[in-house]
């Protein structure tokens, strides 16, 4: 079995939502309920060794079922969120993560040594990520506190505007160039993340925002869960020019399993074949290189191919990649090592430590 370190999941959102209805999030993760995509039993079964777990404030259903006869849609951007309730939710989700850690269900990892230790113990290596920074203030005081608590990755925006920048709305077909990029506060956020060692994730930002970060950041560019715009022209996917910039920076793109971002017709159909995922991986490898392609499942956050189903089915994708010609060394990079390399760079780690 090829262990997978995955770049994006929304398991904390699912656990938090169910906790609000009275469920015990620790038991739900450790024992599993069969709902959604990730829990401890299914992660172990599928070789999901760890990944970035998003603290994300939901705007509710994104509305991409509302399509015209051609399957096209253009969802207006979700309304910006107020900071105070967003901070409360972010704290609740972080608290769930720490309670699972205390119960031994996973290990919150703050550096690559922690990840290696979790892997050696057979524990899910969870890295805390913030998808959209509604919980962070313009002076970045909350950033210091979340960093001290273990936050090691963030996206300045989800598909919403924040004080830090502009998100890309969900639209198909659509260019990712849908509006302005980073604000002045966003530029300060990028610089500060570079300085203290927090990875910056460019999924969900406008193309302009992507280029703003490319100019400002001195770290490899990371897009945790996006695919190739040339194959699936949804606003959330990356143009070949963006892929070239990721390659230039020694960065990484994580393959998103969301069928709406994989299919040529953008359809939301669970019967999407794994061959659509292979097409995207081939394209990403061609444009970013074998050292810059990884996985960013969006487990618990999207409709994914039924042939994978949930974390337990992850090795079906590995097998499909193998059948498509990817050998052991390449699979190791795609499934784990590329993520570790860019995180180490973002976290100021050198090969020596
Ligand atoms: Zn996302």
The answer to whether 255 and 227 have CB atoms below 8 angstroms apart is yes
- Centre of ligand 1 to C-alpha 353, Å, is 31
pLDDT per residue as tens digits for the range 275-334? 999 999 999 999 999 999 999 999 999 999 999 999 999 999 999 999 999 999 999 999
Counting the structural domains of the chain, the total is 1
Answer whether residue 352 shows pLDDT above 60.
no
Q: Is residue 35 part of a domain?
A: yes
In this prediction the pTM is: 0.98
Judge whether 352 lies within some domain: no
Beta-sheet pairing, 199-200 with 171-172:
unpaired
Q: What is the CATH number of the domain that holds 164?
A: 3.20.20.140
What is the pLDDT, as a whole number, of residue 259? 98
Residue 272 lies in a domain: yes
User: What is the band of 350 on the pLDDT scale with cuts at 50, 70, 90?
Assistant: confident
Ligand 1 midpoint to CA 8 (Å):
8
Going from the Cα of 333 to the center of ligand 1, the distance in angstroms, rounded, reads: 22
Q: What is the whole-number distance in angstroms between the Cα of residue 197 and the centre of ligand 1?
A: 22
Question: Would you say residue 130 lies in a domain?
Answer: yes
- Find the domain containing 63 and state its range: 4-346
Is the pLDDT reported for residue 351 higher than 80?
Answer: no
Centre of ligand 1 to C-alpha 51, Å, is 14
115 CA → ligand 1 middle, Å: 23
Alpha helix ranges (H) inside the chain: 11-20, 25-31, 40-46, 83-102, 112-121, 141-149, 184-196, 207-216, 240-248, 274-288, 314-323, 328-332, 338-346
Distance 120 CA to ligand 1 centre (A): 29
Expressed in angstroms and rounded, the spacing between residue 352 Cα and the centre of ligand 1 is 33
Residue 353 domain flag? no
Residue 316 lies in a domain: yes
- The pLDDT of 20-34, averaged and rounded, is 97
The rounded distance, in Å, linking the Cα atoms of 8 and 311 is: 12
Position 77 in a domain: yes
Q: What is the pLDDT of residue 353?
A: 45
Query: Please, what is the average pLDDT of the chain?
Result: 97
- Report CA(223)–ligand 1 centroid distance (Å): 10
Which 3 state secondary structure label does DSSP give 160? strand
How high is the pLDDT of residue 249? 98
Segment 30-34 mean pLDDT: 96
Is residue 86 one of the residues assigned to a domain? yes
């Amino acid at each position: 079995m090829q262990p997978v370190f995955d770049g994006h999941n929304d398991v904390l959102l699912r656990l938090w939502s169910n906790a609000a209805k009275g469920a015990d999030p620790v038991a739900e993760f450790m024992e599993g309920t069969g709902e959604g995509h990730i829990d401890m039993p299914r992660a172990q079964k599928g070789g999901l060794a760890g990944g970035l777990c998003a603290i994300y404030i939901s705007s509710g259903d994104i509305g991409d079922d509302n399509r015209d006869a051609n399957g096209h849609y253009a969802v207006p951007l979700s309304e910006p969120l107020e900071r105070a309730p967003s901070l409360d939710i972010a704290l609740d989700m972080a608290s769930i993560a720490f309670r699972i850690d205390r119960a031994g269900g996973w290990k919150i990892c703050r550096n690559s040594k922690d990840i290696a230790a979790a892997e050696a113990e057979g524990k899910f290596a969870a890295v805390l990520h913030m998808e959209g920074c509604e919980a962070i203030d313009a002076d970045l005081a909350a950033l210091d506190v979340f960093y001290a608590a273990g936050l090691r990755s963030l996206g300045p925006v989800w598909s919403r505007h924040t004080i830090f920048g502009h998100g890309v709305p969900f639209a198909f077909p659509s260019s990712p160039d849908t509006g302005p990029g980073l604000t002045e506060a966003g530029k300060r956020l990028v610089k500060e993340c570079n300085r203290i060692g927090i990875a910056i994730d460019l999924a969900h930002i406008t193309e302009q925002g992507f280029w703003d970060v490319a100019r400002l950041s001195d770290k490899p560019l990371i897009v945790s869960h996006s695919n190739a715009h040339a194959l699936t022209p949804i606003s959330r996917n990356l143009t070949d020019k963006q892929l070239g910039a990721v390659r230039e920076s020694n960065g990484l793109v994580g393959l998103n399993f969301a069928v709406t971002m994989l299919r040529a017709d953008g359809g939301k159909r669970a019967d999407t074949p794994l061959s659509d995922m292979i097409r995207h991986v081939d394209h990403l490898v061609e444009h970013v290189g074998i050292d810059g392609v990884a996985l960013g499942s969006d487990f618990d956050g999207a409709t994914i191919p039924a042939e994978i189903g949930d974390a337990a089915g992850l090795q079906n994708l590995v097998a499909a990649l193998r059948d498509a010609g990817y050998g052991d060394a390449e699979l190791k990079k795609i499934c784990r090592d590329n993520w570790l390399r860019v995180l180490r760079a973002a976290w100021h780690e050198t090969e020596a430590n």
